[in-house]
Structure 1
Amino acid sequence: MTKPAQIETLSSELSGQYREAAEEYAQLALTNDGAEQAAYQLKAAQMYWQSGQVEQSQQSLEQIKLSLLHPSRRYEAAILGANIALFNSDGERALKALSNVQEKDLAAQNLKSVLKLQADAYTLTGNWLEKANTHLKLEKILTDADALKNNREALWQALMQMTPQALDLFNPGYPPAEDSGWFALAYNIKAYQDNPEVLAVALEDWKRSYPNHPADPALYQKTLASGTHIPKDINNIAVLLPHSGPFVEAAKIIKDAIIAAQYVSGSTAQLHFYDIETDAISGQNNVLTQYDAAVAEGASVVIGPLQKSSVETLATHPDLSVPVLALNRTDDEQTYKNLYQFGLAPEDEAVAVATYAKQLGYKRSIVLAPSNDWGQRITSAFTTQWRKEGGSTLIVSNYNEAENDFRDTLIPLMGLNESEQRYKSLQGTLGRSLDFEPRRREGVDFLFLVARPLKARQLVPQLKYHRSGQLPLLATSHVYSGQADPQQNIDLNDLVISDIPWVFEELASEDPVYQSLKNQSPENFTSAIRLYALGVDAYKLIPQLNTLSRDPTSSMEGATGSLSINALGHVTRKMRWGKFEQGELKLIK
């Protein structure tokens, strides 16, 4: 085998001055050719990467003619290319970079590096089968106890993302093969987790088929211990909703939605409604009494209550023997046995905007929100998640919802006052007038808008007037009433929002419950569509609770989004994204 081209190692690299080393290696590449030039280009790319200059590193890497590199350096180029791609959240490109590596020719340590990068790339692409297979390869070469433990946890999480059908179809072997045992164990958990009795028998069979298997019982015992145990055949569903007070209109909409969902499902289960009363003066409610009454009368599961204070009271119950799907959330971060909390929390949507912005490659944001508690809650949720995503918020500006002209807020937000100050300073220096067009703030990737429909329709045109230009505008669903009105909503043009699937006619039109409710209440259906969707999903979640409450990776496609249950027992929602064009909200596919 030929030796790699001999190139000098620069003192700037040895002393940790990577930026200087990168420039010097780049110059050396210009003064050499052939294998030496390719080797220096690789060194420049590596030094750019070390100094944090990712874009320059990628540019240098792309200049290299890989065929001129020695195999050992092709490996280095592949590793660097994969790291850059993963930094940019591009799993496909990372896998393409690694495809140039021949695994059979690698030393154990280098093979570990390649497999770990492949596993990360498969996570980004959502290819859970290949991710699992990659962790199985790592299992055979890892020797460190902690590394093995971490690898098995990652393997298990990948397997838990797969369907029972896929786990059975792609099982790589037969008992008692270790690889086969992982797939078989995951199949049992996924296929029978909503039927504890059958699962217990299946696990005993698995232990006999795969003796001495390395799977740690702790991996799956937590899944088995948690979650609900709702019987397969439900005869009695209790619904706790107020019949009077400030929440009565919302309660009526949710009640109608639950009844419609049950009718369309053809279920023979009985719905029993219990009135939740709250004293206007003391704030005391009867939710504990009504829950106990529902249990005594044979309820298998409880939907509700709706008010946050009632959910907080129910959370204090010493023994929630029957599972509850509450329609609101407590403010704490505690887990309560048999209490699952489902609602349309605005904070969830703010978190979704931050996650979406990260996926789009954005890094710097500005925020415009109302100066009230509601605006502060959403802003706080967004900025907290945005920091976790690695983003930065340059400025948060607040507006008064009582006003209609927001120029005093928008001019400094967009940095137009600074632009004008620079103009005046330059004019004073030159002593003559100049052509001047104010420029908005630079270095911003998007603006996060927190607003309700009326204010959103005022703010978006005013932002454009104040030079927002092509700056992307992202918002939560609160900017949109849900009613299609192109003439009124044309002021929202170019605004991108997250919203429930039912807001998009093309996603909802084939849902028989959607059609039933729309025909039943045509005059107020669209204005209350999100509450109708909440009630429908609350009913549809019941038969899925056993599975979802044990497996955070499982999901159900619902009217309010793709639904999962996290470790806190909160129902989380992944919604859809749309953009206003000619006054109409168009689904982003």
Structure 2
Amino acid sequence: MNRWGEICGVLLLATVAGCATPVKETPPLGIPETVDLERARALENEGDLLGAARQYLGLAREADNLETRFELTLQAGELLIRAGELSTADQVLQQLKPPAPTPLLEFSLRLAVGDLALKRSRAELALQQLTMPEPGTRLTQALMLRLHRLRAEAYALSGNALEAANELLLLEGLLVDNAVIADNQALILQTLSPLTDQALEQMQVLAPDVLAGWLELTRIAKAPSGSAQFQRSITEWRARFPDHPVLPQTIDRLRARLAVEPLRPTQVAVLLPSTGPFAEPAIAVRDGLLTAFYSDTYPERPILRFYDVAADGSNAVVTLQQAVAEGAQLIVGPLSKNAVTAVARSDALPVPVLALNQAELADTVPLPTNLYQFGLPPEAEARQAAERAWIEGHTRALILVPDGLWGSRIATSFRERWEALGGIVLEQQSYDSTKNDYSNPIKALFDLNESETRRTNLRRTLGTEIKFEPRRRQDVDVLFLGAFPRQARQIRPQLKFHHARDVPVIATSHIFTGKVDRAADRDMDDLLFGDTPWTLGVERATVIQRTQIAKAWPEAQERFSRLYAMGFDAYRLIPYLEWLQTYPEERYEGETGQISIDERGRIHRRLAWARFRQGAPDLIGFAPTLIDGRPVAEEPQQETPAVVPASNPS
């Protein structure tokens, strides 16, 4: 399935995962002395959006007619949005007011303001602007197309895939060119793809036939199955939905991407340490992998052979070579970072290697072909926490992490992603994780020390005791917390004690033990965190396997739940490794997250999100991915703009 970004130039809607355009701070635009409408249009056609915006602003300044001045200024604002000059566009749009109660002009302005909000990944603000016009309002087809595509993007960014798909279906009703329709249909499938198989199946019950057909087709498009199986699936689907409007081009695109034979090695070697600091994690990974193996319904399961690898990685390459010599067609492991780094430094790998960690090598260092790096790095979770906080509408953050390398790494990852999105880090503090009192770093974060200093100075001046309640800083709207369960359970009530009860807190998976304990987590309410679908109990086809693991290995539900999930996913990913790397926009519904693989073989996981309610995690769902650069849709060209009566979507 094509990603939204691949549709640029034909139907450029924003990705279902969502996008964030880096905010550029620009000085006030210098308006040229000589302005000309033809010159403005020429600059726009040449791609000089800033030059064109300056021309339109100059023309607006000279215009006598108020309506013309409004339209020219609005056009300049929209060009600034397209150019990524968001701050300047905001200034231009804020000064705009329709010269008279004109529904068409007011609607056009709301579209621009909604577009600007989406460029800043503010889905809720965008939807407030992108309301449907009053029934009977006559709009050009171009405006209706733009409205539906922006609403689709806003719903996708907010995580509401079904409403996003509905908007794309409404958009398709206005399209006439088959090539553009085919791109829109690819986008419908991409929009629905984050939904789990269970959700797709349940939604079909009440969905209209056309939408139900898209939901079922999305299920088919989840993963490659081989040409024969794909054809059987499509034939059965056609029998169920004979009148569905899907184009042959759309089916052909799916066939090209999905009629790929999954990778089926006959022998798999698993490289794990049996001693040292990684021995217990290795057992957890092994048990998860074995559970996936024994529950595999494929008639020809591979032979599994296990090899001992030293934690320091000293024998990793030699052991790998031995496994290949003994018939291994694919390797799972090694587990430690040192061992993976040693393998990554190899000149070549004769068979695919699914490493269970990430090598400590710079991005510029070439990696051997056939290497895939799977892990649960906390830095990736911190970056997703920044994205989630941004989607929630926050802009000004505090950071509180433990002393040491781990805290420094996640703080840096959060900060870098946060600032790239346009957020501001107001203050960062660290705490001693061996202690129970975190008052000092909390006071420093919220400027409570300054408040107490003012009290002391005032008491000295007056020479008497005064009534006093410390006042925390008021410019913060989110706190990123790096902590493990023991620390998090103590920090939360201390934040409340220090007048920060109403500050939203976002964290990584490390704050949750993996086991519901309402008594121990009673003070964690409202804390938002990302975690693996396995740990949070997201419904999957593997719910039976999760139950089996809970019975066979009780620790899977507590200390090692995420490692069991990684072992489970490691086995289940084997058939799809090459396919996922070939199509990095595709996702595999894993127990550690929604999994994708980039061109360097690094495996990325999209976490599920939950919020503590009454001492237990309350599942929210998956957040969209924010990527730099948001594509914008292009309306089909019409010789004569059609006028379309607005109507509310059914």
Same fold (TM over 0.5): yes
The answer to whether the 8 A contact 1:262-1:539 is kept is: yes
Relative to structure 1, the CA distance from residue 313 to residue 251 in structure 2 (aligned partners, 3 Å threshold; closer, same or farther) is: same
Alignment gaps of 5+ in structure 1: 1-11, 17-21, 26-34, 141-150, 175-179, 196-229
Equivalent residue runs for 1:160-559 within 5 Å: 161=190, 165=217, 180=249, 183=250, 186-192=253-259, 194-195=260-261, 231=263, 233-267=264-298, 268-278=300-310, 283=312, 285-332=314-361, 333=363, 334=365, 335-423=367-455, 435-505=467-537, 507=539, 511-522=543-554, 525-559=557-591
Letter of the aligned partner of 1:339 in structure 2? L
Letter of the aligned partner of 1:370 in structure 2? P
**Identical residues among aligned pairs (%):** 31
Q: CA offset at residue 498 of structure 1?
A: 1.1
Structure 2 CA distance, aligned partners of 1:300 and 1:61? 67
Q: CA offset at residue 518 of structure 1?
A: 0.8
Q: CA offset at residue 528 of structure 1?
A: 1.3
Letter of the aligned partner of 1:573 in structure 2? R
Q: CA offset at residue 562 of structure 1?
A: 1.3
Letter of the aligned partner of 2:519 in structure 1? Q
Q: CA offset at residue 15 of structure 1?
A: 7.3
Relative to structure 1, the CA distance from residue 436 to residue 514 in structure 2 (aligned partners, 3 Å threshold; closer, same or farther) is: same
Q: CA offset at residue 424 of structure 1?
A: 5.1
**1:436-489 deviations in whole A, cap 9, x for unaligned?**
321111111111111112111221111111111211111111112212222222
After superposition, the CA RMSD in angstroms is: 4.6
The answer to whether the 8 A contact 1:79-1:97 is kept is: no
* Secondary structure at the counterpart of residue 486 of structure 1: coil
Q: Of 592, 598, 601, which residue of structure 2 is paired with 1:566?
A: 598
Letter of the aligned partner of 2:565 in structure 1? A
Relative to structure 1, the CA distance from residue 284 to residue 368 in structure 2 (aligned partners, 3 Å threshold; closer, same or farther) is: closer
* Secondary structure at the counterpart of residue 527 of structure 1: coil
Q: CA offset at residue 586 of structure 1?
A: 2.1
Structure 2 CA distance, aligned partners of 1:524 and 1:248? 15
The answer to whether the 8 A contact 1:46-1:80 is kept is: no
Q: CA offset at residue 314 of structure 1?
A: 0.9
Relative to structure 1, the CA distance from residue 135 to residue 397 in structure 2 (aligned partners, 3 Å threshold; closer, same or farther) is: farther
* Secondary structure at the counterpart of residue 265 of structure 1: coil
Letter of the aligned partner of 2:291 in structure 1? A
Structure 2 CA distance, aligned partners of 1:62 and 1:537? 56
Between 1 and 2, higher relative CO (CA 8 Å, sep ≥ 6) is seen in 2
The answer to whether the 8 A contact 1:45-1:61 is kept is: no
Instruction: Name 1:215's counterpart in structure 2.
Output: none
The answer to whether the 8 A contact 2:73-2:92 is kept is: no
Q: CA offset at residue 256 of structure 1?
A: 1.3
Of Structure 1 and Structure 2, the greater helix share is in 1
Structure 2 CA distance, aligned partners of 1:443 and 1:507? 39
Greater C-alpha Rg = 1
The answer to whether the 8 A contact 1:327-1:341 is kept is: yes
**1:470-527 deviations in whole A, cap 9, x for unaligned?**
1111111111221222222223233221111122246479612211111112256422
Letter of the aligned partner of 2:338 in structure 1? S
**1:39-98 deviations in whole A, cap 9, x for unaligned?**
99999999999976959967976997334xxx6x46743543443442433565565479
**1:225-278 deviations in whole A, cap 9, x for unaligned?**
xxxxx64x4321111111222211111111111111111113442343343433
Letter of the aligned partner of 2:268 in structure 1? I
The answer to whether the 8 A contact 1:325-1:538 is kept is: yes
Aligned pairs, number: 500
* Secondary structure at the counterpart of residue 506 of structure 2: strand
Relative to structure 1, the CA distance from residue 414 to residue 66 in structure 2 (aligned partners, 3 Å threshold; closer, same or farther) is: same
Instruction: Name 2:619's counterpart in structure 1.
Output: 587
Instruction: Name 1:65's counterpart in structure 2.
Output: 101
Structure 2 CA distance, aligned partners of 1:356 and 1:562? 15
Relative to structure 1, the CA distance from residue 484 to residue 129 in structure 2 (aligned partners, 3 Å threshold; closer, same or farther) is: closer
Instruction: Name 1:226's counterpart in structure 2.
Output: none
502-511 or 571-580: bigger deviation: 502-511
Structure 1 CA distance, aligned partners of 2:176 and 2:339? 49
Letter of the aligned partner of 2:379 in structure 1? E
**1:371-412 deviations in whole A, cap 9, x for unaligned?**
100100010111011112211110010111232222222112
Instruction: Name 1:200's counterpart in structure 2.
Output: none
Structure 2 CA distance, aligned partners of 1:272 and 1:364? 51
Relative to structure 1, the CA distance from residue 415 to residue 44 in structure 2 (aligned partners, 3 Å threshold; closer, same or farther) is: farther
Alignment gaps of 5+ in structure 2: 1-27, 33-56, 81-86, 194-213, 222-233, 239-243, 622-650
Relative to structure 1, the CA distance from residue 510 to residue 321 in structure 2 (aligned partners, 3 Å threshold; closer, same or farther) is: closer
Relative to structure 1, the CA distance from residue 526 to residue 121 in structure 2 (aligned partners, 3 Å threshold; closer, same or farther) is: closer
* Secondary structure at the counterpart of residue 348 of structure 1: helix
TM-score, scaled to structure 2: 0.65
* Secondary structure at the counterpart of residue 294 of structure 1: helix
The answer to whether the 8 A contact 2:346-2:368 is kept is: no
* Secondary structure at the counterpart of residue 374 of structure 1: helix
Q: CA offset at residue 545 of structure 1?
A: 1.6
